[in-house]
Chains A and B, each alone.
Chain A
Amino acid sequence: MNAATTAAPGVPEASTRTERPQGRRRPQRPAFWRHRTLYLMAVPGIAYFLVFKYAPMGGLVIAFQDYMPFLGIGGSPWVGFDHFVRLFTEDTFLLLLRNTLTISFMLLVFAFPVPIILALLLNELRGKYFKRGVQSVIYLPHFLSWVIVASIFYVLLSTDGGSINNLIVDAGGDPVPFLTDPDWLRPLYIGQEIWKGAGWGTIVYLAAMTAVDTQLYEAAELDGAGRLRQSWHITLPAIRPTIIVMFILAIGDFLELGFEHMFLVMNSLNREVGEIFDTYVYTAGIQNGQLSYAAAVGLFKGLVGLLLVIMANRLAKRFGEEGVY
């Protein structure tokens, strides 16, 4: 895209050159040499991606080996698809898939819209300082690590002196085992995701909203549209491309729920509904030193994610949206 627009000024020059047969050497390396400074500026970025993103991908070969650190990638025996066969034939595979898909789906349904709604609400605030104050406060949880979040919820929800259970007991109720009851795990997980991420998630949408032409609102007001109608007919359609891009990116992480959060809220009594690929990789792969197996599971997750992104992107384009690429 960049090359196409900047190449335009060079066109007349090229056309004059075609009139001179001797000058044919120069257009051999046209765009590249002319924009060499731009390319030079890109070198650090390209090097970064090559060294830190693409080169390590070579390490994925250990998914097809019986990798042992002291033998190295060169010396470890090749086992082909053994680790994948083990993953797909494992008794827990269906359970892992079900849990991961359920939780991801719940996140898309319940957690994904929250930042959009929050951004719409913030957008309606007129008091500048109040708006900024609210924004700062709701950004805050994003900067807490999962360990802290899990600890806060532990202190609140424990039946052994947790504040919320103390309130319930004082009000005459029975303590609720929020932390161990399998039925509570998913609501708890989704709730924590929303609490931690929703405020931060509004940033992108708020930025998109600043680009909306204010004349549209004025016109709508003249036509008698209230606040709600303005949001529905002007703001939301205006940020639709942003929502779709965010949605496609979220789809890409469909199997990548992240290890830390679930590991911290899961225990023996609720594992049945909480065990996901990421936590399984930890027990089966890392704890036992089965690095190859862990890599195989990771590769599987990555491929599924890639596939989902491609599908979501195609779908978005079919509906006339821009997509992510």
Chain B
Amino acid sequence: MGNLIALDRTTKGYGAGAPALGPLTFTVEPGEALAVTGPSGSGKSTLLNLVAGLDKPTAGTVTVDGLRIDQLGEHALARFRRERIGMVFQFFNLLDDLTVADNILLPAQLAGMPRAKAAARTSELMETLGIEDHAGAYPGRLSGGERQRVAVARALVNRPALLLADEPTGALDTTSGRDVRELLIDLHRGGQTIVLVTHDLALAEACASRTVHLVDGHVAFDQTAEVAR
């Protein structure tokens, strides 16, 4: 089986001085759950942005699901994001004016999925994630954990090959954080490839099959779960 993510001497710099990230070379296999850890300013979010196609490397290549995304234009990148990846953010980033169901539907609609099919997929996800009772509610009325579940559902609606999660429990209380952790573990068990950026080593340990620790933009260590334990 080929790599789902392949970084080859990938570097990202902002102006003069040392690059914020890299050069970095590593791969992620399908089905892996990779946790990216490290202190603030270590390059975790920069790495996530490069893999999500939100930013472009200054040098090197980024290949995701067989696509050289560092070479794609804005339109192709948008298609890449809606078809191949799903994103979960620390602060949920749900649209306050849309209901829970509409938030989840949005990526499917942007991708042109037929209305009935998109609605069915949304219902399925809401049921799976236990938020079906909130379908008509607005995000502002939900708890943090519920909002993150909605965000996860939205990320999964187009059945992406890769789920990117940026500090998914960073804004949650302990209980909600535990719920989200369980959710990620379940998803991984179901075969979902996950890249998880977090400060929370406990979360990384619980959810990830492999951990990459960054310091000053470089890999300090790269361990599989068995070794880490």
Do A and B originate from a single complex? no
- Which residues of A are in contact with B by a Cβ distance under 8 Å? none
B binding-site residues for A, Cβ under 8 Å: none
